[in-house]
A and B are shown apart, each in its own frame.
Chain A
Amino acid sequence: MPASAEPPRRVVVERDGPILVEGPVEMTTDEGESVVSDRFVVAICTCRRSRIHPWCDTSHRRRKPAEEGEDTSP
Protein backbone atom coordinates (compact mmCIF):
# COMPACT_ATOMS: atom_id res chain seq x y z
CA MET A 1 0.00 0.00 0.00
CA PRO A 2 1.42 3.39 -0.89
CA ALA A 3 2.29 5.58 2.07
CA SER A 4 -0.20 8.42 2.36
CA ALA A 5 0.67 11.91 3.51
CA GLU A 6 -2.88 12.34 4.73
CA PRO A 7 -3.68 11.21 8.24
CA PRO A 8 -6.61 8.80 8.46
CA ARG A 9 -10.00 10.46 8.32
CA ARG A 10 -11.65 10.73 11.70
CA VAL A 11 -15.18 9.41 12.13
CA VAL A 12 -17.21 9.74 15.31
CA VAL A 13 -20.43 7.84 15.89
CA GLU A 14 -22.84 9.70 18.15
CA ARG A 15 -25.20 7.59 20.22
CA ASP A 16 -28.75 8.48 19.07
CA GLY A 17 -27.33 11.08 16.73
CA PRO A 18 -25.45 11.54 13.47
CA ILE A 19 -22.16 10.06 12.29
CA LEU A 20 -19.56 12.83 12.17
CA VAL A 21 -17.03 12.59 9.33
CA GLU A 22 -14.22 14.99 8.54
CA GLY A 23 -15.14 16.82 5.33
CA PRO A 24 -15.23 17.32 2.49
CA VAL A 25 -17.49 14.37 1.80
CA GLU A 26 -19.09 13.01 -1.33
CA MET A 27 -21.89 10.68 -0.48
CA THR A 28 -24.08 8.42 -2.56
CA THR A 29 -27.50 8.06 -0.98
CA ASP A 30 -29.58 4.89 -1.09
CA GLU A 31 -31.50 6.50 -3.90
CA GLY A 32 -28.32 6.67 -5.93
CA GLU A 33 -28.06 10.43 -5.71
CA SER A 34 -24.61 11.91 -5.20
CA VAL A 35 -24.32 14.82 -2.76
CA VAL A 36 -21.29 16.81 -1.67
CA SER A 37 -20.58 18.75 1.51
CA ASP A 38 -17.30 20.57 1.99
CA ARG A 39 -17.80 21.53 5.62
CA PHE A 40 -14.87 20.77 7.98
CA VAL A 41 -17.04 18.15 9.65
CA VAL A 42 -20.12 16.65 8.09
CA ALA A 43 -22.97 15.18 10.16
CA ILE A 44 -24.61 12.23 8.42
CA CYS A 45 -28.12 11.44 9.56
CA THR A 46 -28.66 7.96 10.96
CA CYS A 47 -32.19 8.40 12.35
CA ARG A 48 -33.77 8.92 8.91
CA ARG A 49 -35.94 11.72 10.25
CA SER A 50 -33.86 14.57 8.84
CA ARG A 51 -35.58 16.93 6.43
CA ILE A 52 -32.26 17.63 4.73
CA HIS A 53 -31.27 14.00 4.26
CA PRO A 54 -28.57 12.68 4.13
CA TRP A 55 -27.30 15.41 6.47
CA CYS A 56 -28.41 15.73 10.10
CA ASP A 57 -30.76 18.60 10.98
CA THR A 58 -31.17 17.68 14.69
CA SER A 59 -34.49 15.92 14.06
CA HIS A 60 -33.04 12.97 16.01
CA ARG A 61 -33.54 14.88 19.27
CA ARG A 62 -35.84 13.59 21.96
CA ARG A 63 -39.08 15.50 22.39
CA LYS A 64 -40.62 16.99 25.44
CA PRO A 65 -44.19 18.14 26.02
CA ALA A 66 -44.69 21.75 24.95
CA GLU A 67 -45.89 22.98 28.38
CA GLU A 68 -42.43 22.84 29.89
CA GLY A 69 -41.12 24.42 26.74
CA GLU A 70 -38.29 26.85 26.86
CA ASP A 71 -36.87 27.90 23.59
CA THR A 72 -33.78 30.02 23.22
CA SER A 73 -33.63 29.47 19.51
CA PRO A 74 -33.50 32.44 17.16
Chain B
Amino acid sequence: MTPSPEAHTHRPETEPALPDPRGPLSERVLAALAGRPGALPSEDETARADPYGDDLQLLLYVLYELHYRGFAEVDEALEWEPRLLAVRAAAEDVFLRALREGTTGGKDVEEAVGALLLEPVGDDGHSVSHHLQREGTLEQLREYAALRSLYHLKEADPHVWVVPRLRGRAKAAMVAVEYDEFGAGRAENIHARLYADLMADLGLDPAYGRYLETAPAEALATVNQMSLFGLHRRLRGALVGHFAAVEITSSPGSRRLAKALRRAGAGAAAQRFYDEHVEADAVHEQVVRRDVIGGLLEDEPQLAPDIVLGIETTGLLEDRLGEHLLASWRGGRTALRTPPSASS
Protein backbone atom coordinates (compact mmCIF):
# COMPACT_ATOMS: atom_id res chain seq x y z
CA MET B 1 0.00 0.00 0.00
CA THR B 2 1.34 3.44 -0.85
CA PRO B 3 1.29 5.75 2.12
CA SER B 4 -0.86 8.82 1.69
CA PRO B 5 1.14 12.06 1.44
CA GLU B 6 0.26 12.96 4.98
CA ALA B 7 0.86 9.57 6.56
CA HIS B 8 4.18 10.61 8.03
CA THR B 9 2.85 13.77 9.63
CA HIS B 10 -0.40 12.39 10.92
CA ARG B 11 -0.92 12.11 14.64
CA PRO B 12 -4.22 11.58 16.36
CA GLU B 13 -5.58 14.88 17.57
CA THR B 14 -7.36 15.27 20.85
CA GLU B 15 -10.16 17.77 21.20
CA PRO B 16 -9.38 21.02 23.02
CA ALA B 17 -9.93 21.54 26.73
CA LEU B 18 -12.66 23.90 27.95
CA PRO B 19 -11.47 27.51 28.28
CA ASP B 20 -11.60 29.60 31.45
CA PRO B 21 -14.80 31.61 32.01
CA ARG B 22 -14.84 35.33 31.26
CA GLY B 23 -17.75 36.40 33.45
CA PRO B 24 -20.77 35.12 35.39
CA LEU B 25 -22.71 33.86 32.35
CA SER B 26 -19.92 31.91 30.69
CA GLU B 27 -18.90 30.60 34.10
CA ARG B 28 -22.21 28.80 34.62
CA VAL B 29 -22.37 27.50 31.07
CA LEU B 30 -18.83 26.15 31.30
CA ALA B 31 -19.68 24.50 34.60
CA ALA B 32 -22.65 22.79 32.94
CA LEU B 33 -20.44 21.62 30.08
CA ALA B 34 -17.98 20.22 32.59
CA GLY B 35 -20.85 18.27 34.14
CA ARG B 36 -21.01 20.21 37.39
CA PRO B 37 -24.44 20.86 38.92
CA GLY B 38 -25.77 24.42 39.15
CA ALA B 39 -28.21 26.86 37.62
CA LEU B 40 -27.79 28.11 34.08
CA PRO B 41 -28.08 31.85 33.30
CA SER B 42 -31.69 32.98 33.05
CA GLU B 43 -33.10 34.57 29.93
CA ASP B 44 -33.32 37.95 31.70
CA GLU B 45 -29.71 37.88 32.85
CA THR B 46 -28.54 36.95 29.38
CA ALA B 47 -30.68 39.67 27.79
CA ARG B 48 -28.82 42.29 29.86
CA ALA B 49 -25.35 41.16 28.76
CA ASP B 50 -23.03 43.32 26.66
CA PRO B 51 -23.49 41.90 23.14
CA TYR B 52 -19.81 42.35 22.25
CA GLY B 53 -18.37 41.59 25.67
CA ASP B 54 -16.10 38.66 26.50
CA ASP B 55 -18.69 36.94 28.67
CA LEU B 56 -21.45 36.67 26.07
CA GLN B 57 -19.12 36.01 23.15
CA LEU B 58 -17.34 33.19 24.97
CA LEU B 59 -20.67 31.72 26.06
CA LEU B 60 -21.81 31.64 22.43
CA TYR B 61 -18.47 30.34 21.22
CA VAL B 62 -18.39 27.31 23.50
CA LEU B 63 -22.02 26.43 22.85
CA TYR B 64 -21.46 26.66 19.08
CA GLU B 65 -18.30 24.60 19.35
CA LEU B 66 -20.41 21.63 20.43
CA HIS B 67 -21.65 21.52 16.80
CA TYR B 68 -18.13 21.45 15.37
CA ARG B 69 -15.63 19.33 17.26
CA GLY B 70 -16.65 19.75 20.87
CA PHE B 71 -14.30 19.72 23.83
CA ALA B 72 -12.36 16.98 25.55
CA GLU B 73 -14.36 15.37 28.33
CA VAL B 74 -17.59 17.17 27.48
CA ASP B 75 -20.58 14.89 26.96
CA GLU B 76 -21.38 14.89 23.22
CA ALA B 77 -25.11 14.67 23.97
CA LEU B 78 -25.02 18.22 25.34
CA GLU B 79 -25.04 19.47 21.75
CA TRP B 80 -28.83 19.09 21.75
CA GLU B 81 -29.53 19.65 25.46
CA PRO B 82 -32.70 21.81 25.50
CA ARG B 83 -31.68 23.95 28.49
CA LEU B 84 -28.36 24.84 26.88
CA LEU B 85 -30.12 25.55 23.59
CA ALA B 86 -32.43 27.95 25.46
CA VAL B 87 -29.42 29.83 26.87
CA ARG B 88 -27.90 29.94 23.41
CA ALA B 89 -31.12 31.29 21.91
CA ALA B 90 -31.26 34.11 24.47
CA ALA B 91 -27.63 35.00 23.78
CA GLU B 92 -28.23 34.88 20.02
CA ASP B 93 -31.08 37.36 20.39
CA VAL B 94 -28.75 39.81 22.12
CA PHE B 95 -26.01 39.36 19.50
CA LEU B 96 -28.31 39.49 16.47
CA ARG B 97 -30.11 42.58 17.77
CA ALA B 98 -26.77 44.37 18.14
CA LEU B 99 -25.76 43.32 14.64
CA ARG B 100 -29.00 44.66 13.18
CA GLU B 101 -28.72 47.90 15.13
CA GLY B 102 -25.10 48.36 14.05
CA THR B 103 -25.82 48.14 10.32
CA THR B 104 -27.87 50.25 7.93
CA GLY B 105 -29.77 47.44 6.27
CA GLY B 106 -31.65 47.67 3.01
CA LYS B 107 -32.45 45.40 0.13
CA ASP B 108 -30.08 46.57 -2.58
CA VAL B 109 -27.71 43.61 -2.86
CA GLU B 110 -25.97 45.02 -5.90
CA GLU B 111 -25.10 48.20 -4.08
CA ALA B 112 -23.82 46.34 -1.01
CA VAL B 113 -21.67 44.07 -3.19
CA GLY B 114 -20.55 47.03 -5.32
CA ALA B 115 -19.18 48.80 -2.25
CA LEU B 116 -16.90 45.82 -1.56
CA LEU B 117 -15.66 45.73 -5.14
CA LEU B 118 -14.07 49.18 -4.91
CA GLU B 119 -10.46 48.81 -3.82
CA PRO B 120 -9.05 51.57 -1.64
CA VAL B 121 -6.17 53.25 -3.47
CA GLY B 122 -3.93 53.31 -0.45
CA ASP B 123 -3.97 52.65 3.26
CA ASP B 124 -6.84 54.43 4.99
CA GLY B 125 -5.32 53.78 8.39
CA HIS B 126 -8.05 51.29 9.37
CA SER B 127 -6.92 48.23 7.45
CA VAL B 128 -5.06 45.50 9.28
CA SER B 129 -3.66 43.94 6.13
CA HIS B 130 -2.31 47.31 4.94
CA HIS B 131 -0.71 47.86 8.33
CA LEU B 132 0.88 44.40 8.38
CA GLN B 133 2.14 44.75 4.83
CA ARG B 134 3.76 48.08 5.53
CA GLU B 135 5.15 47.71 9.03
CA GLY B 136 3.93 44.49 10.61
CA THR B 137 6.45 42.81 12.85
CA LEU B 138 6.87 39.05 12.95
CA GLU B 139 5.35 39.10 16.44
CA GLN B 140 2.25 40.94 15.18
CA LEU B 141 1.91 38.44 12.35
CA ARG B 142 2.10 35.61 14.88
CA GLU B 143 -0.60 37.24 16.99
CA TYR B 144 -2.75 37.75 13.93
CA ALA B 145 -2.26 34.13 12.86
CA ALA B 146 -3.07 32.87 16.37
CA LEU B 147 -6.38 34.69 16.67
CA ARG B 148 -7.43 34.02 13.08
CA SER B 149 -6.81 30.32 13.71
CA LEU B 150 -10.17 30.18 15.47
CA TYR B 151 -11.75 30.51 12.04
CA HIS B 152 -9.14 29.21 9.65
CA LEU B 153 -8.79 25.86 11.44
CA LYS B 154 -12.50 25.36 10.72
CA GLU B 155 -12.35 27.26 7.45
CA ALA B 156 -15.46 26.78 5.30
CA ASP B 157 -17.07 24.46 7.89
CA PRO B 158 -19.94 26.74 9.03
CA HIS B 159 -20.80 27.50 5.40
CA VAL B 160 -21.55 23.87 4.61
CA TRP B 161 -24.64 24.08 6.81
CA VAL B 162 -26.35 26.27 4.20
CA VAL B 163 -26.17 23.67 1.45
CA PRO B 164 -29.43 21.76 2.12
CA ARG B 165 -31.22 25.11 2.22
CA LEU B 166 -30.20 26.09 -1.30
CA ARG B 167 -31.43 24.85 -4.65
CA GLY B 168 -30.28 24.57 -8.26
CA ARG B 169 -27.69 27.08 -9.39
CA ALA B 170 -26.98 28.47 -5.90
CA LYS B 171 -26.49 24.99 -4.47
CA ALA B 172 -24.24 23.72 -7.28
CA ALA B 173 -22.06 26.83 -7.11
CA MET B 174 -21.84 26.84 -3.31
CA VAL B 175 -20.74 23.22 -3.27
CA ALA B 176 -18.18 23.83 -6.02
CA VAL B 177 -16.55 26.62 -4.01
CA GLU B 178 -16.66 24.55 -0.82
CA TYR B 179 -15.04 21.63 -2.67
CA ASP B 180 -12.15 23.96 -3.47
CA GLU B 181 -11.99 25.12 0.17
CA PHE B 182 -11.75 21.49 1.22
CA GLY B 183 -8.81 20.77 -1.05
CA ALA B 184 -10.69 19.48 -4.13
CA GLY B 185 -10.40 15.91 -2.91
CA ARG B 186 -6.89 16.15 -1.48
CA ALA B 187 -6.46 16.25 2.28
CA GLU B 188 -3.12 18.05 2.07
CA ASN B 189 -4.79 20.94 0.22
CA ILE B 190 -7.69 21.54 2.61
CA HIS B 191 -7.46 25.25 3.38
CA ALA B 192 -7.64 24.58 7.12
CA ARG B 193 -4.66 22.27 6.65
CA LEU B 194 -2.72 24.92 4.72
CA TYR B 195 -3.43 27.20 7.65
CA ALA B 196 -2.09 24.67 10.14
CA ASP B 197 1.09 24.55 8.03
CA LEU B 198 1.27 28.35 8.17
CA MET B 199 0.96 28.25 11.96
CA ALA B 200 3.69 25.66 12.34
CA ASP B 201 5.88 27.75 10.05
CA LEU B 202 5.41 30.74 12.37
CA GLY B 203 6.28 28.67 15.42
CA LEU B 204 2.66 28.46 16.60
CA ASP B 205 0.91 25.33 17.80
CA PRO B 206 -1.54 24.27 15.05
CA ALA B 207 -3.69 22.14 17.38
CA TYR B 208 -7.40 22.87 16.95
CA GLY B 209 -8.70 25.25 19.60
CA ARG B 210 -5.26 25.95 21.00
CA TYR B 211 -5.62 29.75 20.95
CA LEU B 212 -9.23 30.12 22.07
CA GLU B 213 -8.03 31.25 25.47
CA THR B 214 -5.93 34.06 24.02
CA ALA B 215 -8.52 35.36 21.55
CA PRO B 216 -10.28 38.62 22.47
CA ALA B 217 -14.07 39.02 22.20
CA GLU B 218 -13.71 40.87 18.89
CA ALA B 219 -12.17 37.76 17.34
CA LEU B 220 -14.76 35.41 18.88
CA ALA B 221 -17.55 37.56 17.45
CA THR B 222 -16.36 37.10 13.85
CA VAL B 223 -16.60 33.32 14.22
CA ASN B 224 -19.82 33.39 16.25
CA GLN B 225 -21.42 35.32 13.42
CA MET B 226 -20.74 32.47 10.97
CA SER B 227 -22.03 29.85 13.37
CA LEU B 228 -25.16 31.90 14.00
CA PHE B 229 -25.90 32.35 10.31
CA GLY B 230 -24.91 28.78 9.48
CA LEU B 231 -26.99 27.04 12.12
CA HIS B 232 -30.26 28.85 11.44
CA ARG B 233 -32.08 28.15 8.23
CA ARG B 234 -33.98 31.42 8.62
CA LEU B 235 -30.63 33.23 8.33
CA ARG B 236 -29.52 31.45 5.12
CA GLY B 237 -29.56 34.74 3.22
CA ALA B 238 -27.25 36.30 5.80
CA LEU B 239 -24.91 33.30 5.58
CA VAL B 240 -24.66 33.73 1.82
CA GLY B 241 -24.12 37.50 2.18
CA HIS B 242 -21.41 36.90 4.77
CA PHE B 243 -19.71 34.28 2.59
CA ALA B 244 -19.75 36.65 -0.39
CA ALA B 245 -18.24 39.46 1.68
CA VAL B 246 -15.41 37.20 2.82
CA GLU B 247 -14.67 35.88 -0.67
CA ILE B 248 -14.81 39.32 -2.29
CA THR B 249 -12.45 40.99 0.18
CA SER B 250 -10.09 38.05 0.59
CA SER B 251 -7.99 38.19 -2.56
CA PRO B 252 -6.49 41.70 -2.23
CA GLY B 253 -6.14 41.28 1.54
CA SER B 254 -4.37 37.96 1.07
CA ARG B 255 -1.92 39.56 -1.33
CA ARG B 256 -0.98 42.10 1.33
CA LEU B 257 -0.65 39.41 4.00
CA ALA B 258 1.53 37.23 1.74
CA LYS B 259 3.74 40.27 1.23
CA ALA B 260 3.81 40.98 4.96
CA LEU B 261 4.92 37.43 5.70
CA ARG B 262 7.58 37.58 3.01
CA ARG B 263 8.89 40.86 4.36
CA ALA B 264 8.96 39.58 7.93
CA GLY B 265 10.94 36.56 6.83
CA ALA B 266 8.28 33.88 7.34
CA GLY B 267 8.75 30.53 5.62
CA ALA B 268 7.27 29.13 2.43
CA ALA B 269 4.30 27.36 4.05
CA ALA B 270 3.19 30.57 5.73
CA GLN B 271 3.20 32.41 2.43
CA ARG B 272 1.51 29.57 0.58
CA PHE B 273 -1.78 29.92 2.48
CA TYR B 274 -2.22 33.53 1.40
CA ASP B 275 -0.78 32.99 -2.10
CA GLU B 276 -3.38 30.27 -2.64
CA HIS B 277 -6.12 32.64 -1.47
CA VAL B 278 -5.09 35.40 -3.88
CA GLU B 279 -5.76 33.06 -6.79
CA ALA B 280 -8.59 30.94 -5.37
CA ASP B 281 -10.70 33.80 -4.05
CA ALA B 282 -10.45 35.76 -7.29
CA VAL B 283 -12.40 32.79 -8.71
CA HIS B 284 -14.60 32.17 -5.66
CA GLU B 285 -15.71 35.79 -5.68
CA GLN B 286 -16.98 35.52 -9.26
CA VAL B 287 -18.79 32.24 -8.65
CA VAL B 288 -20.36 33.40 -5.39
CA ARG B 289 -21.60 36.69 -6.86
CA ARG B 290 -22.89 35.28 -10.11
CA ASP B 291 -24.31 31.93 -9.11
CA VAL B 292 -24.70 31.70 -5.33
CA ILE B 293 -26.16 35.17 -4.77
CA GLY B 294 -27.70 35.33 -8.24
CA GLY B 295 -29.23 31.87 -7.92
CA LEU B 296 -30.54 32.46 -4.41
CA LEU B 297 -32.15 35.77 -5.38
CA GLU B 298 -33.80 34.07 -8.35
CA ASP B 299 -35.26 31.39 -6.06
CA GLU B 300 -36.03 33.59 -3.08
CA PRO B 301 -36.01 37.30 -3.91
CA GLN B 302 -37.44 38.08 -0.48
CA LEU B 303 -34.05 37.20 1.03
CA ALA B 304 -32.35 40.31 -0.39
CA PRO B 305 -32.39 42.19 2.96
CA ASP B 306 -30.82 39.19 4.70
CA ILE B 307 -28.03 39.01 2.10
CA VAL B 308 -27.37 42.71 2.70
CA LEU B 309 -27.41 42.04 6.45
CA GLY B 310 -24.72 39.36 6.14
CA ILE B 311 -22.53 41.61 4.00
CA GLU B 312 -22.87 44.52 6.40
CA THR B 313 -22.43 42.61 9.65
CA THR B 314 -19.25 41.06 8.26
CA GLY B 315 -17.91 44.57 7.64
CA LEU B 316 -19.04 45.69 11.09
CA LEU B 317 -17.35 42.84 12.96
CA GLU B 318 -14.19 42.96 10.88
CA ASP B 319 -13.94 46.70 11.53
CA ARG B 320 -14.34 46.13 15.27
CA LEU B 321 -11.61 43.50 15.23
CA GLY B 322 -9.36 45.69 13.07
CA GLU B 323 -9.78 48.62 15.43
CA HIS B 324 -8.85 46.48 18.40
CA LEU B 325 -5.77 45.07 16.65
CA LEU B 326 -4.46 48.40 15.40
CA ALA B 327 -5.13 50.23 18.67
CA SER B 328 -3.27 47.52 20.60
CA TRP B 329 -0.30 47.42 18.26
CA ARG B 330 -0.03 51.17 17.90
CA GLY B 331 -0.10 51.41 21.69
CA GLY B 332 2.77 48.94 21.88
CA ARG B 333 0.57 46.25 23.44
CA THR B 334 -0.29 42.70 22.52
CA ALA B 335 -3.69 42.29 20.82
CA LEU B 336 -4.21 38.96 22.55
CA ARG B 337 -5.45 38.32 26.05
CA THR B 338 -2.20 36.47 26.68
CA PRO B 339 0.68 36.40 24.18
CA PRO B 340 0.91 33.22 22.10
CA SER B 341 3.51 30.81 23.30
CA ALA B 342 5.58 28.86 20.84
CA SER B 343 4.59 25.41 19.73
CA SER B 344 5.35 22.33 21.81
Contacts and interface: CB of A to CB of B under 8 A. Distances in A.
B228 to A, nearest CB: 17
Contacts of A39: 180, 184, 279-280, 283
Contacts of B118: 61-64
B124 A67 contact: yes
Q: Which of B130, B256, B278, B319 gathers most chain A CB within 10 Å?
A: B278
A37 B315 CA distance: 31
B219 interface: no
B121 A65 contact: yes
Nearest to A56: B282
Contact of A62 (B117, B124, B287): B117
Interface in A7-26: 12, 14, 17-18, 20
Contacts of A67: 124
B124 A71 contact: yes
Given A39-B280, A55-B279, A70-B319, A14 B286 contact: yes
Given A70-B315, A73-B249, A62 B119 contact: yes
Interface in B126-146: 126-130
B227 interface: no
A64 B121 contact: yes
B194 to A, nearest CB: 14
B53 interface: no
Contacts of B255: 51, 57
Nearest to A45: B282
B174 to A, nearest CB: 12
A71 B176 contact: no
Nearest to A16: B117
A62 to B, nearest CB: 6
A41 B254 contact: no
Given A71-B322, A74-B129, A58 B282 contact: yes
Secondary structure class of chain A's binding surface, majority of residues: loop
B326 to A, nearest CB: 11
Contacts of B116: 72
A69 interface: yes
B329 to A, nearest CB: 16
Contact of B318 (A52, A62, A68, A72): A72
A74 B257 contact: yes
A5 interface: no
Interface in B216-252: 245-246, 249-252
Contact of A72 (B122, B124, B280, B319): B319
B331 interface: no
Interface in B270-285: 277-283, 285
Nearest to A14: B286
A67 B287 CA distance: 30
A69 B252 CA distance: 14
A37 B282 CA distance: 13
A11 B55 CA distance: 50
A7 B118 CA distance: 36
A38 B283 CA distance: 12
10 contacts: A58-B282, A58-B285, A64-B120, A66-B121, A69-B120, A69-B125, A70-B124, A71-B129, A71-B322, A72-B319
Interface of A: 12, 14, 17-18, 20, 37-43, 51-52, 55-58, 61-74
